[in-house]
Amino acid sequence: MSKALLLGNEAAARGLYEAGCRFASSYPGTPSTEITEEAAKFEEIECEWAPNEKVALEAALGASIAGARSFCGMKHVGLNVAADPLFTASYTGVNAGLVIAVADDPGMHSSQNEQDSRHYARAAKILMLEPADSAECRDFMKLGFLLSEQFDTPVLLRLSTRVSHSRSLVEPEQRVSAEEKPYRKDSGKYVMMPAMAQKRHVLVEQRIEAQRTWANSAGINRAEYHSKKIGVICAGINYQYAKEALRENASYLKLGCVYPLPDALLKEFCAQCGEVFVAEDLDDYIEQHCRALGLRVHGKDRLPLVGELSQSLLRKAILGEALPAKALEVPIPGRPPVLCPGCPHRGLFFALKKRKVFVSGDIGCYTLGALAPLQMMDTCICMGASVSALHGRNKANPQNAKNSVAVIGDSTFMHSGITGLINIAYNKSNSVVVILDNSITGMTGHQQNPTTGLTIKGDPTAAVSLEKVCEAVGISRVTVVDPYDLQATEDALREALAAEKPSVIISRRPCVLLKYVKTKPALVADASACTGCKQCMRIGCPALSFQGNKAAIDAAQCVGCGVCAQLCRFSAIKGGLAQ
Amino acid sequence: MSFQKNIMIVGVGGQGTLLASRILGEVLLSQGYDVKVSEVHGMSQRGGSVVTYVKYGSAVASPIIDKGEADVILAFEQLEAVRWLPYLKLGGKLITNTQRMNPMPVITGVAEYPEDLLALLEGAGVDLLTLDALALAEQAGSVKAVNVVLLGALARQMEFGEEIWQDAVSRTVKPQFAAMNRRAFEMGYRGQSVAAN
Ligand SMILES: Cc1ncc(C[n+]2csc(CCOP(=O)(O)OP(=O)(O)O)c2C)c(N)n1
């Protein structure tokens, strides 16, 4: 087969196919999402979006124990959610191979924190591989399955934004049909209660020792010697940055396995080279290990702990050089991401703004409601925290319940909002939770979820009824509004906040970017009727602007949602729902 | 001797920079180069400032382009051209769409869209090529084809023949839009409107 230009994530999916993987269960999260989306295109792989990462990993482990090579993918923070099964999966080990991909986001292109997932490998004592380009994404995925079965362990595949979302060349290979591994009952291995787990922990420590020996001779950990004046220890994308910055003016110890680290190789490389640098994003994970071995290396004394590295940072830190660059001496306004024209979240946030409430926020497209001009979010922590933290706020002072709401998307509610809602009902706070149901997982690029009635492959399936779930957990006040209707949305909020019991408002309208959503013709602003009051500008729609002192609507962007028209007291905006 | 060229495509989320970089990547692949393309997914695609890096040569290491490293910057919008200018190599070429799109701080009135950016760029001695890709795309049949018009303008500055590009365009876009996109490409390539055939 001829070479293809594949995203790291596409190549990882190709690796799943070629390795004979039969089951994949994941929860979306940038930059990991495309692995499972691409894997779903192969008929041979049974693929699913799970409601969250914990469920996904447990499903994948179950399939592995049943005998199918299995996969689970997530972003870095997803591993926090899946940490509970992760630590014990280390003890049970596997039957057929199990690979867990975790994609870090140094620089936080699309994340709420910058945690370094390598610590999980060490803490859970699970072997971790780190590819540096698309070809390695495919190769390491396949190797991961072999190592998983050889050492009876789950294997972590650590990706990062630049590896996941860069395209490079991959030569596709054939799929191997992995042999069936029949399940054999073995309670000493799979039933983790104290007596059994105590024995398994001993095996885990022995396994790590065996892996250490393997790591020192594994082909994926290799020294490349050129000039030995400078040596660079690196893994993943930082190998590429270092090569670009230093070419043949340095030697490289490229680590394909970042846990356990190959002690003998590290010592040998440091002995061979003059000045040695550890080039790693985020924490000083490899550097600390080198120091513990008594090796003298540079690392975070020259490089930042914050943000992603780059070839120019390495050039500067190691060679003290910078390339010349030109800039214009003009102030350049920023261009933050925005809610799309016609986004159903906009109307809801505007209604919240009018009521001047405290908003316990969550993660999704609707987090953009925190930015100007809406600025209607007070907190955003992690998926599901909107609901649980609102409960805490209202317990701290019951009066808060009169002017505070939680906002949470449909996918996020399925992920980890339900448990918070159960807590509200059970522990009795008069909290108001708004579920922004746009019928899709929007932020990560339109994945199906348990509320949409479709599977990852687009097949019809059972759809969770948000109304019934809320009622079933003990919320008797559940209302549904259309966020394009500003008055109705505001009324629903006012009534819920006044009620002496917990409420859920389902703000329901599908994302305008969904293919089946029919948009309306663009609205027009009538300059003769416009008084220039700028009321319409308060909703922060990118299709609206002021030209001179009159409102103007960009026909290429406007989808006719009519929200702005409802704000115009002079009927200067025509068309759409307003008519 | 190792050889490498670095091209950046910058614009506003939603303008179709990803498709342009994908077609460019396909062309370079068909010419036998080592190629790396780095894309943005996620948050900034929602109307934010977006950038894609395309690098090719005998052996490409890093997929990203840093300050002072780009041989060519293809900008889909004026303000983005200026924002990313520091990434241009001294003596590199800047190709920019003359289109202006107001970012949210300008829409809400807390910032102003700077005036006369193109003149300032020229004044600063930047090797500049400008075109009104929006108008050309409209003439080609769809404002959505701005990306393909701009790709045409870029192609003109590169060493491969027009047909190689047109083939890649036809392979990448949906069949029902192929003719329109081919027209859009040609307009960008010639820097002027061409009649529909
Ligand atoms: C634990 C965890 N997993 C995944 C993500 C990535 N992520 C951020 S928001 C989101 C889902 C958003 O979907 P939804 O709640 O439906 O809101 P929408 O974007 O559609 O408005 C996901 C998967 C994350 N931030 N944290």
Taking alpha carbons only, the member of B174, B175, B97, B185 closest to residue B145 is B185
Strands (E), A248-348: 251-255, 257-259, 275-279
Kindly give the number of the ligand 1 atom that is closest to the alpha carbon of A412.
15
- Enumerate residues 415 to 474 of chain A having a beta carbon within 8 A of any beta carbon in chain B: 443-445
CA distance A7 to chain B (A): 8
- Buried/exposed code over A380-402 (b: 16+ C-beta within 10 A; e: otherwise): bebbbbbbbbbbebbeeeeebbe
- For A524-574, CATH number out of 3.30.70.20, 3.40.50.720, 3.40.50.1820, 3.90.950.20 equals 3.30.70.20
Cβ separation A241–B61 shorter than 8 A: yes
pLDDT band for position A530 (cuts 50, 70, 90): very high
d(CA A487, CA A78): 38
Residue B47 has a pLDDT of 86
The CB of A411 under 6 Å from ligand 1? The reply is yes
Residue B45 has a pLDDT of 73
Please report, for residues A39, A55, A148, the alpha-carbon distance to residue A68 in angstroms, rounded to integers and kept in the order given.
Answer: 15, 17, 12
Residue A556 has a pLDDT of 85
Q: What is the pLDDT of residues A112-167, one digit of tens each?
A: 999 999 999 999 999 999 999 999 999 999 999 999 999 999 999 999 999 999 99
How many alpha carbons lie under 13 Å from residue A418 in its C-beta half-sphere?
18
Residue A177 has a pLDDT of 85
Residues of B whose CB is below 8 A from A165: 38-41
The CB of A363 under 6 Å from ligand 1? The reply is yes
Q: What is the pLDDT of residues A258-270, one digit of tens each?
A: 999 999 999 999 9
- The closest residue, in CA terms, to atom 20 on ligand 1 is A442
Domain residue extents for chain A: 4-176+190-217, 222-319, 344-508, 524-574
How many residues appear in chain B? 197
User: Which residue out of B41, B100, B116 would a mutagenesis test of the A interface target, given it has the greatest number of A Cβ atoms within 10 Å?
Assistant: B41
The CATH code of the domain at B4-190 is 3.40.920.10
Residue A577 has a pLDDT of 45
- The closest residue, in CA terms, to atom 1 on ligand 1 is A78
The CB of A438 under 6 Å from ligand 1? The reply is yes
The CB of A442 under 6 Å from ligand 1? The reply is yes
Kindly give the number of the ligand 1 atom that is closest to the alpha carbon of A416.
1
Domain residue extents for chain B: 4-190
Residue B43 has a pLDDT of 66
Cβ separation A323–B69 shorter than 8 A: yes
Taking alpha carbons only, the member of B19, B12, B75 closest to residue B46 is B12
Q: What is the mean pLDDT of residues B39-49?
A: 79
- pLDDT for B197 beyond 60: no
Dihedrals φ, ψ of A252, to 5°? -130, 135
Q: Which CATH class is domain A344-508?
A: alpha beta
d(CA A501, CA A474): 11
Could you tell me the distance, in angstroms and rounded to a whole number, from the CA of residue A27 to the centre of ligand 1? 9
Among A168, A327, A546, beta carbon nearest to B36: A168
How many residue contacts between A and B have a Cβ separation below 8 Å?
A: 186
Could you tell me the distance, in angstroms and rounded to a whole number, from the CA of residue A441 to the centre of ligand 1? 7
- pLDDT for A394 beyond 60: yes
Mean pLDDT score of chain A: 97
The CB of A440 under 6 Å from ligand 1? The reply is yes
Could you tell me the distance, in angstroms and rounded to a whole number, from the CA of residue A364 to the centre of ligand 1? 5
The CB of A31 under 6 Å from ligand 1? The reply is no
- pLDDT for B108 beyond 80: yes
Residue of A nearest to B119 (CA): A328
Q: What is the mean pLDDT of residues A15-29?
A: 98
- Enumerate residues 149 to 178 of chain B having a beta carbon within 8 A of any beta carbon in chain A: none
Strand order in the sheet with A222-224: A222-224, A251-255, A230-235, A275-279
CA distance B137 to chain A (A): 12
Pocket perturbation via mutation, ligand 1, pick of A383, A419, A434 by most ligand atoms within 8 A of CB: A383
d(CA B70, CA B85): 9
Could you tell me the distance, in angstroms and rounded to a whole number, from the CA of residue B48 to the centre of ligand 1? 18
Instruction: Please report, rounded to a whole number, the percentage of residues in chain A having pLDDT higher than 70.
Output: 99
pLDDT band for position A575 (cuts 50, 70, 90): confident
Residue B196 has a pLDDT of 63
Residues of A whose CB is below 8 A from B110: 372
The CATH code of the domain at A222-319 is 3.40.50.920
Pocket perturbation via mutation, ligand 1, pick of A74, A113, A410, A443 by most ligand atoms within 8 A of CB: A443
Residue B1 has a pLDDT of 54
Q: What is the pLDDT of residues B132-180, one digit of tens each?
A: 999 999 999 999 999 999 999 999 999 899 999 999 999 999 999 999 9
The CB of A414 under 6 Å from ligand 1? The reply is no
Could you tell me the distance, in angstroms and rounded to a whole number, from the CA of residue A8 to the centre of ligand 1? 21
Could you tell me the distance, in angstroms and rounded to a whole number, from the CA of residue A155 to the centre of ligand 1? 25
Q: What is the mean pLDDT of residues A369-391?
A: 97
By DSSP bridging, strand B70-75 and strand B88-97 are: parallel
Q: Which helix (H) or strand (E) holds A472?
A: helix A466-472
Residue A204 has a pLDDT of 98
- pLDDT for A578 beyond 50: no
Could you tell me the distance, in angstroms and rounded to a whole number, from the CA of residue A171 to the centre of ligand 1? 33
Q: What is the mean pLDDT of residues B174-194?
A: 93
Here the ipTM equals 0.95
Residues of A whose CB is below 8 A from B13: 337
- Buried/exposed code over A191-229 (b: 16+ C-beta within 10 A; e: otherwise): ebeeebeeebeeebeebbeebeebbbebebbebeeeeee
Residues 6+ apart with CB under 8 A from B60: A168, B4, B34, B35, B36
Taking alpha carbons only, the member of A123, A118, A30, A137 closest to residue A74 is A30
In the CATH scheme, what architecture does the domain A4-176+190-217 have? 3-Layer(aba) Sandwich (3.40)
Instruction: Please report, rounded to a whole number, the percentage of residues in chain A having pLDDT higher than 90.
Output: 97
Residue A579 has a pLDDT of 39
- pLDDT for B192 beyond 50: yes
Please report, for residues A334, B95, B130, B134, B160, the alpha-carbon distance to residue B118 in angstroms, rounded to integers and kept in the order given.
Answer: 18, 11, 8, 16, 28
- Enumerate residues 26 to 55 of chain B having a beta carbon within 8 A of any beta carbon in chain A: 26, 29, 34-49
Q: What is the mean pLDDT of residues B49-66?
A: 96
- The closest residue, in CA terms, to atom 4 on ligand 1 is A29
- pLDDT for A327 beyond 90: yes
Equal CATH topology for A4-176+190-217 and A344-508: yes
Q: What is the mean pLDDT of residues A192-204?
A: 98
pLDDT band for position A179 (cuts 50, 70, 90): confident
Cβ separation B61–A244 shorter than 8 A: yes
Q: What is the mean pLDDT of residues A341-354?
A: 98
